[in-house]
Structure 1
Amino acid sequence: MKPVLLGSWVLASLMAAVLAQAAPKAPIKIGEINSYSTMPQFTQPYRQGWQLAVEEINVAGGLLGRKVEVIARDDAGKPEEALRHAVELTSKEKVDVLAGGFLSNVGLALADHALKNKRVFIASEPLTDAIVWDKGNRYTFRLRPSTYMQAAMLVEEAVKLPAKRWATIAPNYEYGQSAVASFKELLKARRPDVEFVSEQWPAQGKLDAGTTLTSTMQAKPDAIFNVTFGADLAKLVREGNQRGIFPKVPVVSMLSGEPEYLDVLKDETPRNWIVTGYPWDQIDSREHASFAANYYRRFNEYPKVGSVVGYATMQAIFAAIKKANSTDNEKLVLALRGLKFSTPFGPAEFRAIDQQSTMGAYVGKLELRGNRGTMAQWRYADGKAYLPSDAYVRARRPAEAMK
């Protein structure tokens, strides 16, 4: 090769190398599927939570030298819609990880997709026990404390009540069924003298509060375990207040202390209900104070549970990618098992045996302050204290899911 041609070739090669280095790397893509149109009171703060996390990581330089991009889709609360989006996100958009889900039946559909397509799925909100136990799989990890865990937290308070006759009111789908089953199992283990005298199973979003409460009170319960949420919870509380049932009859209620629902109840909030929730304005830990301040600065509103869940979902994914030093899904599975990550509630980890996070919840009593509901006498229940034994998990989780 002539010297001039050789020099030109070397120069061209150097320029190509420089341009290649200067060219922006493809972003890490996270496919996020949620019930944005049907559950906006939760999913709008949730979206803002993950947006904040993504903005922070990108300002800090991204992950593995790449920016993070979230591609969000609305499942409209329907499993079939969630699956359609999951197929599109994995096949067309080539996302590296899937995340999200609100309703438990939607979460289970996405978990099945994750298994069939060997795609990591971080189930952020679905609370059904089945997603990590009976229908658990290698690729699905769940962030929020499950129905079993929250039932265990509430049972610690329920056993202190003198009540022996219990009634339950829960939506008639996977989440409600799972919550009631866990509460009954755990309460009877601690108090063999209790009996369940009434079970009401209204369709989600279609509660007839008058009929439900009439049937419940005909059984003369000493206490009620409630699992309704959203618009159904508001209907139940309003009808119960008008009939003088609340606060006369003690109620133990899952999720009812969350700002998403208290903001709707306002001055109708029933006093002394024992609940899981989020007393955002009373938590003074360093992790939470930093998150709450940044969230308010960005969105000009206080955080809700959805905000925390959205933010923590992304924190878990970021930590897994850093640990794996890769977006390869098999490496991510190994990185996620036993992964320690931070949340606004404090440190958490995904335990290896069932891929359930140890993120906890706040337990306390409902109270009125001014014209709005809040939580009082609350405590933080660390999730790791409310997980069942390894033997319990092995009896329910498929063996192949633990390989």
Structure 2
Amino acid sequence: MRCLAWASAFLLSVCSLGLQAKEVIKVGEINSYKTIPAFLEPYKKGIELAVEEVNAKGGIHGKTLEVIMRDDGGTQSNAIREAQTLVQRDKVDLLAGSFLSHIALAIADFADKKNVFFLAGEPLTDKITWEKGNERTFRLRDSTYMKVAMLIDDAVALNKKRWALVYPNYEYGQSAAETFKKMMKERQPDIEFVTEQATPFNKIDAGSTVQALADAKPEAIFNVLFSTDLTKFVRAGNTRQLFKDVEVVSLLTGEPEYLDPLGEDTPKGWIVTGYPWYAIDTPEHNAFLKAYQDKFNDYPRLGSIVGYMMVQSLAAGLEKANSTKTEDLVNAFKGLEHMSPLGAIQYRAIDHQSTMGAYVGRLDVKDGKGVMVDIRYVNGADVQPSDEEVRRLRPQP
């Protein structure tokens, strides 16, 4: 009898644990936290705020949302090892995250082979939705192509013939440079690219890079550097007066993560993409800003928005699918729409890219801090290629 009683109790316990497990939806999130802390610490806060809000409203069909975070150490091998652990040991329902483009591509390939849904939050590589796109991977943030397209009208309007390029020498930087050259050649056939400086990521020799650019005597510079490379480049450029009488068009530089460290050294007049949180006045963003400041006693960075919107997208997709099965999530995300702090966004069915946009403006210095002025929001839907072009670029199922 005691054995029967014990067995009954054991079975009840197992059943209870099974029911309890089903009440939690687990998201395995992988990112380069130690490699890119300026972006990913605010990103983590954005995730925390969004998860708290989702669960405070009753979760997803009554189930609690949980995000399990892992650091990839900035390498593909670590990222795949963490993905395997999350899927096999932690039994996550889906994967999300990633920052560096080459790592995101590795996780996307893993997710495809293992039949796991993957929402890439931050990586900008075009390959993740085009050449190496797969059925199980979607991407939130505006892509490299979209970022460059946001700036092309401004770059053409400068009417400069001699251009130099400087970019980090990995997939994102290389892609941004090639896309810029292609778009500019189409709009301004007589353009000349007098030099290209491809620098090792996070290891720039700023003095040599600035000197090489100066020696080429460009009329304008297209810059793709970010993080500590950007800070070193700008300060070396200011010291050697590289930017005097030279126009600069720059990706990402208006994001607080990279703009704030420059302070008074912020180069005035650069045309940039970014996130001027202090100048956005919409009901959706005001609500996000208040909630973020109330919780963290700090202002949001672009990472904060990406982390927050990524969880918003996951919640909307899970709600629509009413399931954690990969095929159901894939179907739910195709054409998925939801509101965000940056307005309504949609995930295109044809390439799994969201229509998240960004702000474009010029840099200035106010009260010793770098800011964006003359801002305008560019909807991601307005800078995406046609369906015909996407079908040419992306393998069709």
Shorter-chain TM-score category? over 0.9
Separation (CA, whole Å) in 2 of partners of 1:109 and 1:283:
35
* Distance (Å, rounded) in 2 between the aligned partners of 1:195 and 1:73: 44
Give 4+ residue runs of structure 1 displaced > 2 Å after superposition.
19-26
Match of 1:316 in 2: 313
**Which residue pairs with 1:347 in the alignment?**
344
Residues 1:161 and 2:169 aligned together: no
Cα deviation, residue 162, structure 1: 2.1
Q: How many residues align?
A: 386
- Could you say which residue in structure 1 is the equivalent of 2:84? 87
The yes-or-no answer on 1:334 pairing with 2:323 is no
Residue 366 of structure 1 corresponds to which residue in structure 2? 363
Q: Does the 8 Å contact 1:272/1:365 carry over to 2?
A: yes
Give 5+ residue unaligned stretches, structure 1: 1-14
Structure 2: gaps (5+ residues): 1-11
- Residues 300-341 of structure 1 deviation map (CA, whole Å, 9 limit, x = unaligned): 100010000000000001101111111111010011011002
Equivalent in the alignment of 1:270? 267
Q: After superposition, where does 1:109-258 map in structure 2 within 5 Å?
A: 109-258=106-255
Secondary structure of the structure 1 residue equivalent to 2:273: strand
Q: What CA distance in whole angstroms lies between the structure 1 residues aligned with 2:118 and 2:19?
A: 32
Q: 1:377 aligns with which of 374, 377, 380?
A: 374
Deviations 1:5-38 (A, max 9, x none): xxxxxxxxxx99xx89996843100000111111
Q: Closer, same or farther in 2 for the Cα pair 1:24/1:394, shift >3 Å?
A: closer
State how far apart, in whole Å, the 2-side matches of 1:21 and 1:352 are.
34
TM-score when normalising by structure 1: 0.93
Q: CA deviation at 1:130?
A: 0.7
Q: Which structure has the larger Rg?
A: 1
Kindly indicate whether the alpha-carbon contact (under 8 Å) linking 1:45 and 1:304 is maintained by their aligned counterparts in 2: yes
Indicate conservation of the 8 Å contact 2:164/2:220, yes or no: yes
Compute the displacement of 1:256 (Å): 0.2
The match for 1:7 is none
Q: Identity rate of aligned residues, in percent?
A: 53
Separation in structure 2 between the aligned mates of residue 248 and residue 369 of structure 1, nearest angstrom: 21
After superposition, give the CA deviation of every residue in 1:170-201 in whole Å (9 maximum; x if it has no partner).
01100001111111111111111212111111
Match of 1:96 among 69, 93, 97: 93
Q: 2:281 — aligned with what?
A: 284
Q: CA RMSD in A?
A: 1.8
1:38-117 maps to which residues of 2 (within 5 A)? 38-117=35-114
Letter in 2 for 1:89: L
How much has 1:95 moved relative to structure 2? 0.8
SS at match of 1:29: strand
1:391 counterpart letter in structure 2: E
Equivalent position of 1:297 in the other structure: 294
Aligned residue type for 1:170: Y
Cα 1:23–1:234, aligned 2, differ >3 Å: closer, same or farther?
closer
Question: Which secondary structure state, in structure 2, belongs to the residue aligned with residue 170 of structure 1?
Answer: strand
- Deviation per CA, 1:269-292: give whole Å up to 9, x if none: 000000000110010000000001
- 1:32 matched to 2:29? The reply is yes
Cα distance, 1:218 vs structure 2: 1.7
* Residues in 1 aligned to 2:96 and 2:65: alpha-carbon distance in whole angstroms: 14
Partner SS, residue 305 of structure 2: helix
- Residue 327 of structure 2 aligns to a residue whose secondary structure is helix
